[in-house]
Structure formats: C-alpha cells, structure tokens
Amino acid sequence: MNKRKLGTEGLTVSGVGLGCMGMSDFYGSHNEADSLDTLSTAYEFGVRFWDTSDIYGPKTNEVLLGKYFKQHPEQREQIVLATKFGVLRNDQGDFLGVNGHPDYVKQACDASLQRLGVEHIDLYYQHRMDPNVPIEETVGAMSDLVKAGKILYLGLSEAGVDTLKRAVSVHPIAALQSEYSLWSRHLEAAILPACQELGIGLVPYSPLGRGFLTGAIQSRADLDPDDWRLNNPRFSEENFHHNLTLVERIKELAAGKHCTPAQLALAWILHQNEHYVPIPGTRHPDRLKENAAAVDIVLTQEELEQISNALPNDIAWGTRYPEAVMGTLDR
C-alpha cells in the first residue's frame, strides 16, 4: 500500500483508508467477529488509516476498535487513528444537536481516548460545525489538546470555505472530511480549491456512494429494514431506479479497465489529487481487499475525462441527505 500526505504538517496515511461506521451502526445488521476480521485484514493489506466517531453506535464503534487494539497492541503505532466529536446522540441513538464549546471538546476527547484504549488520537475531527460557537473557539480547544499530547492533527468534517479559512488562522488543519464521489461532486466549485490554497488534505467519506456505486445494491429490498439508507433521498423509491443508470455507466467504464466498479470509483478519486485519501467502509475482508487494490489502477487523462463526462456534477437523483440535514453541511 502506498502512502499519501494529508495537509502540510507531516501527516502521512495509507493511500486508501477504512471507514468503520458500518461495523456498528446505520447500515443494517453487523457482526463483531466479521468486523474484527476485517480490521485484521486491513492491517495485513496496508490499509492503516482507520476512521470512527463517538456517534457511531453511538460509542460502540470506538469500543470495537479499542477491543481490537487491546488484542493487537503491537499494531497500534502502525495505525493512523481518526475519530470525531461534536454531534450529540443519546444512548438510544436519537440525535440531539451539535456542540462545539471548548469544554465539551476536551470532555469528548477524554471519553474517546478511554473507549479506544489509546494514549493519543492521530487525527481528531469536529464532526459538524456548531453555528452557536465561533470556529476559532472550537479549534482553539482542539489546539490545546495537541499541546497536551492527546491528539496529533486536527480535522474538520463538512466545513465550508469561510470556516476553513478561519480555522487555519488558529491552528493548521490537516484534513477536511466530506462526502465526495462520482455522484457527489459538489466540493469542486469552491471547497476543493480552498483546501488546495490552505494546504488541507481531503478525506472523502462515502466514496462509493454508500455502496450504491459498487453495483451490489440493485433494489431497496437488498437493504435491511433498519438500514438508514432507506431514508436517504438517493435510495428512495422515486430516485432509486434513476440512479441505477449511473451504476450501469460505471460498470461499463470499469469493464474497459478490467476492474470492479468500486475500484474504478476509488481510482478516479485517487487521481484527482495526490492529497485525497478516500475511506470506503466495509464489514467484509473480501471487499476490503478489493478496495485496497484500487491504488494499483492507473487512469490516463483521457480516461479521467471520459469518466468525469459520463458522471458530471449534479447528475444524481436526490440530495445526499434528507432536506432537514442539508442545511447543516458545508458550513
């Protein structure tokens, strides 16, 4: 597995990361043994940039990773571990808003460190921006955690251009984590140029369109009844079959490269910029191996243009979150 740099402060990660959310939440049934096996496979194949959050579960995803590190303590320093704070969720899973107050930042960090069973977090993100707390105050508290040795690098998730500029005036930001994929290209107009200007790396989450772009989901019936995606506009009855036509385009392009649709979608992101590191999520070792192999796919400029033209910006049917959530993004 090759390495890539996030930001300009020295954070180096594997060329493809692993999103751990689905191992504990949101995407239907999950199995701890399979998840632990997937983590072990990720380590073996060099996928050593792991992403979690205190709201996944809630909390149980961090506990899962903590269990893995307890079983494999010798691997901890080889893993770049990222987690997040800021979205509030009770033990029943209800969402209660966001919190960017400095005191809460430090409390959340200590709680994550305890669940993960580690001495420091490599990359700590504010998960969503708090409109009631100036970003300078939140990032200032995160900077204090760096000085205390509890975290190494700072990140923001779903932050807008103005927020990014104000944040870096307080402390360097290594990475912006936002949704970016062949059917979510909204960042290209303003946010990606700002990241380039400010020396911020990009960590695209849902780089495979929440699994849709792999071609493995052919109907809503393929999802568990409690799968969050059933409430996502792009998976709705109205939009699902329209979006399947996008998958067919990806399948055709992938066939021409003798790779899978997932590998093509990841390779396209990897070729956009050397400081972009996608974090596809999976609970299965075979999928992990498939995703990791995307780093070996070489796309020519002509092929990149062909792919981009086949799936231009705003081509997907439906917004990427329900309308009530959309206003909380890119702040």
Active site residues: 56
- The backbone torsions φ and ψ at residue 227, rounded to the nearest 5 degrees and listed phi first, read -75, 125
Which DSSP symbol is given to 214?
G
Q: Which of 104, 90, 97, 27 has the alpha carbon at shortest distance from 58? A: 90
CA distance 45 to 183: 28
- Residues 99, 88 contacting (CB under 8 angstroms): yes
| DSSP percent split of the chain into helix, strand, coil, nearest 5 | 45, 15, 40
Q: Cis (ω within 30 of 0) for the bond into 233?
A: no
The two three-digit tokens of residue 79, written as one number: 């893993």
Half-sphere exposure of 174 (CA within 13 A, CB side): 24
Contacts of 204 (CB under 8 A, 6+ apart): 177, 178, 179, 180, 181, 269, 276, 277, 278, 279
* CA atoms 85, 274, 77, 64: torsion sign: positive
- The backbone torsions φ and ψ at residue 126, rounded to the nearest 5 degrees and listed phi first, read -80, 120
Contacts of 205 (CB under 8 A, 6+ apart): 19, 51, 157, 177, 178, 179, 180, 279
**H-only helix segments in 53-190:** 60-71, 102-116, 135-147, 161-168
- Residues 205, 19 contacting (CB under 8 angstroms): yes
Strand partners, 80: 49
